[in-house]
Structure 1
Amino acid sequence: MTYSLFDVVVLTEDIPAEGLRAGVPGAIIEVYSLPVEGYEVEFCDAEGCAVAQLALSPDQFQLKK
């Protein structure tokens, strides 16, 4: 599946190094196609402050329902 800028997604796996758990919502802020498909996703706390921003492969998240 191809995602777009500003899509809201949720993690499908824990990322302990960033303190993120599966199910945490984030927003796609950059789309990469080369050398492989990837997405920069920003995660915020309840007050809207960014807590993590990292590049993820599409198998690490899904669209938020």
Structure 2
Amino acid sequence: MNFALYSDVILLKDIVEDGLFAGDIGTVVDIHNVSGLETGYSVEFFDLLGNTRAVVTLPMSYFRQPTKSDIPTVRLLAEVA
């Protein structure tokens, strides 16, 4: 499965060092095709006010497409000083 540029994806694994957790929703902002490697995606994660929280580049296996069974949820983040 490949993801289109600017599509929403759901994170499948925690990326604690970036403050991201499985279930977080991000937007694909770049696609990285390297011969012999799994396709990679740069994904931007936003808060509900539209501020960027993190941009990470990870392999395709870290994401899945949203489905009609998904419901967005909210979790509070620690404020960054």
| TM-score grouping bracket, smaller chain normalisation | over 0.9
Q: Normalization by structure 2: what TM-score?
A: 0.76
Q: Which residue pairs with 1:60 in the alignment? A: 62
SS state at 1:23 partner: coil
Q: Distance in 2 between matches of 1:62 and 1:14?
A: 14
SS state at 1:27 partner: strand
Q: Which has the higher contact order (CA 8 A, sep 6+)?
A: 1
Q: Which residue pairs with 1:21 in the alignment? A: 21
Root-mean-square deviation over aligned CA pairs? 0.9
SS state at 1:3 partner: coil
* CA deviations over 1:41-64 (Å, ceiling 9, x no partner): 000011110000010101101011
Q: Normalization by structure 1: what TM-score?
A: 0.93
1:47 lines up with 2:49 in the alignment = yes
* CA deviations over 1:14-65 (Å, ceiling 9, x no partner): 1000011100000000011014310000000111100000101011010112
Q: Which has the higher strand share?
A: 1
Radius of gyration: which is bigger?
2
Shift of 1:3: 1.1
Corresponding pairs, count:
65
Give the gaps of 5 or more residues in structure 2: 68-81
Query: What is the percent sequence identity of the aligned residues?
Result: 32
Displaced runs of 4 or more, over 6 A: none
